[in-house]
Amino acid sequence: MDLGLDGRTVIVTGASGGIGREVARGFAAEGADVVLTYRSSPEEAGQVAKEIGEHALVVPYELGDLDSARAVVSAALDWTGRIDVLVNNALFTWGWEPGESFDKVEEDAWREMVRRNVEGYLELSRLVTPGMRERRFGRLVHISSGLVDEGMAGAEYYTTAKAAVHGFSRSAAFSLGRDGDILSNVVLPGLTATARNEERIEPFSQRYINLSAVGRLLDAREVANAVVYLGSAANTGITGQTISVTGGV
């Protein structure tokens, strides 16, 4: 299938590792020019860019910082003159410990988590949308978490931020779709195996494997495949949706 990504410009936030890395690789494999953003891992982002070659641009990005978001968009436009796809994948979790009782989390910590994760996604979406409207083409893909549906003690503020993005994407789809072939969707991964998280997720893995229809955890590349399709020109009618990519959990 021709995904119609050759020559398109894609921004992938949080592209230095995990799902973001595989998303960047996936778009590049389809001929797209990929802007890879990172927060604290320039070496890893540089390695991904080296693998991709001349079709990659590495840019630092601080989620929830408007000036940083503007710099990413400016860098992309200076590079290719266009932005066709935005994948909001970056995540801010500093100051939060999984399992911590929500009423005991420090005020500054939970407020910053919610603010950055919500505002960061909305800021970049707002910045890329005018160009998409002008060209009458664009794709927004927001990476969320299966915890929004499943729930987990200690993840209250994380899931609050992610759920807010669901609401934005759903309504934005109706606004954007009236101005061209512009689509907005949310991808909802479950517990996903990545090169970074193997040890951290091990205590939870078997529970998810037992619940999975395919009897295993999905890996980052499998989630990325769905993201790339939703962000492609081959997707002409899926918008305003939340797509679970969980192996059937």
- Which residues are known catalytic residues? 145, 158, 162
Question: Could you tell me how many residues make up the chain?
Answer: 249
The answer to whether 182 and 176 have CB atoms below 8 angstroms apart is yes
φ, ψ for residue 34 (rounded to 5)? -120, 125
CB proximity list for 119: less than 8 A, separation 6 or greater: 64, 66
Task: Give the list of residues 6+ apart from residue 144 with CB closer than 8 angstroms, or none.
Answer: 162, 163, 165, 166, 186, 187, 188, 189, 242
